[in-house]
Amino acid sequence: MLLVAIILLVLYAILGYKKPGIALITSPVVSFTFGCTFVPAEPIGAILLAGAIFFVTLVAILLARREPGSEQWPQIIAKCLLISLMSCLFLAVAFVLFGAGGIFGLVLFVLFVGAVISYGLASRHATAAYVISTIGASIRQNLPLPMALESAASGRTDKRSRILLNIKKWLVQGYRLSESIKRGYPKCPGYAVAIIAAAERIDQLPVAVASLEADIIARAKEKRRLRPVHPFYPAVLTAYVLFIILFLTWKVLPLFQAAFTDIAEGFKLPAATRVLVGFANSIWFGQGWLVWFVLGLLVLSVIVVSIRIKFRPRRPARPYLTSRIGDFIKWHLPVLHWFERNYSLVQVTELLRLSLNAGCTVNGAISNTLGLDVNNCFRKRLQRWLAKVEAGENIADSARQTGLGNTLPWAFDQQVNPGNTLTVLEMLESFYRTNYSYRVNLARFIMWPCVSILLGVIVGFVVYAFFCPMVMIINQLANLVYP
């Protein structure tokens, strides 16, 4: 059995690398046949070896030679199957740890997975910052970009050097920088590719890359910065308090109720304790299992979708369905709407200034902004603005009518600012960028105290509801002893 398994492993590793389509179709049949043949003799070994054959085939298919940035149907299916298998493995490990160590084992597993995901995101941001910085330094020194990228990657075999060599390969074949980055570095952030593509159309690549380099380095530093309070702290504390509430209502509070009944018939628990018991019983007994199932399914779905969105670059030209849904939700929420609009205006005003400075017409400059990675709802307003401008309407009035605010139309109002459009756009870009950073920090400074106060109120209510019956029992016993 072992010899047959080794032969099949080697065969399907080669077949998956050379002919991924044939390997993907035949490997499930071969693995199933191998398992059924040797299960009567050695059940566990046969099942493990059959799974190993299928797993090695999927890995070989993913490693198969293909053009950078392109995936055929075998790679797509193999990636989905591997993600599903790894998800099942993680769930199995989580259940084992929960059975062995209880809630603490599960918490440790969740913290480990979160640390791995956080490291992966930080590594992606650092890689993007390195690639953009290398390209920006080469452009500033007026070096031939393919030769500069090859020199930067020479003598190294890490991931960053491979990315630079892939970009250089497509540049040598005559592709533009934005298209070369798409093909050679598919995981590059979508907003970076969009800004580079827009700058190439107006021949303002050095200025745009310099601005993009500063922005992406700032983001990478922000990801690595230590925070006094982690964003997941409120969720962890809330889950811990909920676990304590369920334990108290299950083990402790019934004893208080029995003690009250023995002391005085008809004596009731305090109101706060009754509210706490009613809340716990509603989610612990009766239809509580349905609430837990729906809540767990919702949390798991949100986590999976969030991880997928974080690791998948956005496509400004053809937004994903999840991107459109997320943009719609963020655009219509009270606080997030302001941040989405302000961040979009930062990019739009910068590109409008660069386009007009390069000699583009107003409608050409507006058309360039449609390729930026901005909120999809904001992009629709830009499209309506472009349609009105091309129809011959006043630029400033049409910007106000499409809902772009009052500051951006002010830059194009020739009655108020005749001939000062570029100066006003530069001032607005600086204003929006500074205002965005200020509001982000202000929101953090306001949000964390409010969250701390709310969590303190919840914990205080639980403590009061738990200790109040003890005080009442002591008072009742004191009255019996000293009437």
Kindly write down the DSSP assignment for every residue of 387-454, as one continuous string: HHHHTT--HHHHHHHTT-TTHHHHHH-TTTSTT-HHHHHHHHHHHHHHHHHHHHHHHHHHHHHHHHHH
CB–CB of 179/356 below 8 Å? Answer: no
* Nearest-angstrom CA–CA distance, 116 and 128: 18
* Closest by CA position to 107, among listed 120, 117, 94, 93: 94
The answer to whether residue 69 scores a pLDDT higher than 60 is: no
Q: CA torsion sign, 208 to 210 to 213 to 219?
A: negative
- Return the higher-pLDDT residue of 329 and 93: 329
Model pLDDT, residue 139: 85
* Residues in contact with 279: Cβ distance below 8 Å, sequence separation at least 6, in sequence order: 245
Residue with tokens 């053809």: 318
Q: What is the mean pLDDT of the chain?
A: 78
Instruction: Please state, in angstroms and rounded to a whole number, the distance separating the CA atoms of residues 321 and 58.
Output: 27
| pLDDT > 80? residue 427 | yes
What average pLDDT does this structure show over 103-125? Answer: 69
Q: Which of 335-365 are b and which e, b meaning 16 or more Cβ less than 10 Å from the residue's Cβ?
A: eeeebbbbbbbbbbbbbbbbbbebebebbeb
Query: pLDDT-based confidence at 283, cuts 50/70/90?
Result: low
Summarize pLDDT for 90-101 with one digit per residue, the tens: 667 666 665 655
70 pLDDT tier (thresholds 50, 70, 90): very low
pTM above 0.95, yes or no: no
- In 10 A of CB 291, how many CB atoms? 13
Structural contact between residues 463 and 272, judged by C-beta atoms closer than 8 angstroms: no
- Of 2-6, 71-75, 125-129, 275-279, minimum mean pLDDT range: 71-75
Structure tokens at 15: 């077949």
Domain architecture of the chain: domains with CATH: 2-94 (no CATH), 125-222 (1.20.81.30), 241-296 (no CATH), 321-451 (1.20.81)
3-state secondary structure of 340: helix
What is 68-118 written as a DSSP string?
TT---HHHHHHHHHHHHHHHHHHHHHHHHHHHHHHHHHHHHHHHHHHHHHH
pLDDT confidence tier of residue 460, bands split at 50, 70 and 90: confident
Residue bearing the bigger pLDDT, 109 or 390: 390
- Asked whether residue 224 carries a pLDDT value surpassing 60, the answer given is no
